[in-house]
Structure 1
Amino acid sequence: MAGQETRTRIVDAAMRIVREQGAARLTLDEAARHANVSKGGVLYHFRSKDELIRAMVQRLIAEYEDQIIRQYEQEPEGPYRWARAQVRASFQPDNNCNDPVGAAVLAAVALNPELLAPIRELFTSLLERMRADSPDPDRAMLVGLALDGLFLNRVTGLNLHDNESLSRLCNTAMSLLT
């Protein structure tokens, strides 16, 4: 278990570095220093910076999927349940799409498209869930694409919408799914 704890500490440290200092400052040496382990300890768990970034991607995916599942469990049964859950999760203020690490991970993925595979798997799974309980899959996909735009708006730091307009957009998206 100590190995898993160390691995978690290293990923936590890497995410903290990106949040506080920016993606350019993320190195294996910095991750080791912030996690209070040797560089050898980092290399034992992550053979390269790409592997560390892959672990960060996996963490963000798991957190996002957990948010959607929590929302799904709260949604009443019926058509568009997965789509409604995704809309609600996407508009939550604590959504990890608001985390600056998302932008850094997006940049890393742009430099190494291989890192995109787990993200592609998540989005494929989300789309399949939405299609499965949607009487009009195209409508659900349209809302899903709007959520993708919201995600990109957040991770690029554009933040073009205030809380009031985000609330209206959430309500509009939900009205399309009734």
Structure 2
Amino acid sequence: MKTQDKILDAASVLILEEGVSNVTLEKIAKLAEISKGGLLYHYRTKEALFQELNTAAIREFEEAISRYLSEQPNGRGAYARAYALATIEDIQKGGTHRSSALISIFSDHPEIMGIWKEGYARWQQQFDQDGLDWEEAATIRYVCDGLWFNEMAGTTSTSAFAADLLHKLLERIDKEEGV
């Protein structure tokens, strides 16, 4: 595992266990099993680390979307399908562990919300150009968002249902397309 990933994972764990205000660079370095100097080489401040935690979550999600887009035929609903599959993958691989920490950061660092607003604006633009009618696109988007939020909040009792619902929505679009 890369040092930066170890640092981000350690920060996520500490945020979830101790709360944002109790996290220090020293604690992160100790849990990541690196020196504080090693941590400071990558992240000069706690705020820079928190910003990267959010930026990395968005980047990894967008990389998964791109991968799914490249694996399927283009056409109506291709982006929505890739977005849904990337959401399911993130939840199945436990990516929401880091993401859960992000919610905690927002309360102490509201400026970081801007990173997410930019990401959501990009994603919405892709949905708008995806060829689905508004209701189909919104349904997929909101089910994904709800699934992701429920995982972050630790209310996973509906995860299997939501993932199944997403697959059924995608199957319906495929059927309409004759795929």
TM-score normalised to structure 2 length: 0.79
1:105 equivalent in structure 2: 102
1:53 equivalent in structure 2: 50
Distance 1:97-1:141 versus aligned 2 partners, 3 A rule: farther
Residue aligned with 2:146, SS: helix
Gaps of 5+ in 1: none
Q: Of 144, 150, 157, which residue of structure 1 is paired with 2:154? A: 157
Gaps of 5+ in 2: none
2:25 equivalent in structure 1: 28
Q: Distance in 1 between matches of 2:159 and 2:140?
A: 20
- TM-superposed deviation, 1:167: 4.4
CA contact (8 A) 1:67 1:95 kept: no
CA contact (8 A) 1:99 1:155 kept: yes
* 1:29-178 correspondence runs (5 A): 29-92=26-89, 98-161=95-158, 163=160, 165-177=161-173, 178=176
- TM-superposed deviation, 1:162: 5.3
Q: Distance in 2 between matches of 1:97 and 1:118?
A: 22
Residue aligned with 1:76, SS: coil
Structure 1 counterpart of 2:80, one-letter code: A
Identical aligned pairs, as a percentage? 22
- TM-superposed deviation, 1:157: 0.6
Residue aligned with 1:91, SS: helix
Residue aligned with 1:144, SS: helix
Residue aligned with 1:78, SS: coil
Structure 2 counterpart of 1:168, one-letter code: D
Moved more, 132-141 or 68-77: 132-141
Distance 1:30-1:173 versus aligned 2 partners, 3 A rule: same
Distance 1:98-1:44 versus aligned 2 partners, 3 A rule: closer
Q: Distance in 2 between matches of 1:131 and 1:150?
A: 21
Moved more, 30-39 or 144-153: 30-39
- TM-superposed deviation, 1:38: 3.8
Report how many residues are paired.
171
TM-score normalised to structure 1 length: 0.80
Residue aligned with 2:155, SS: coil
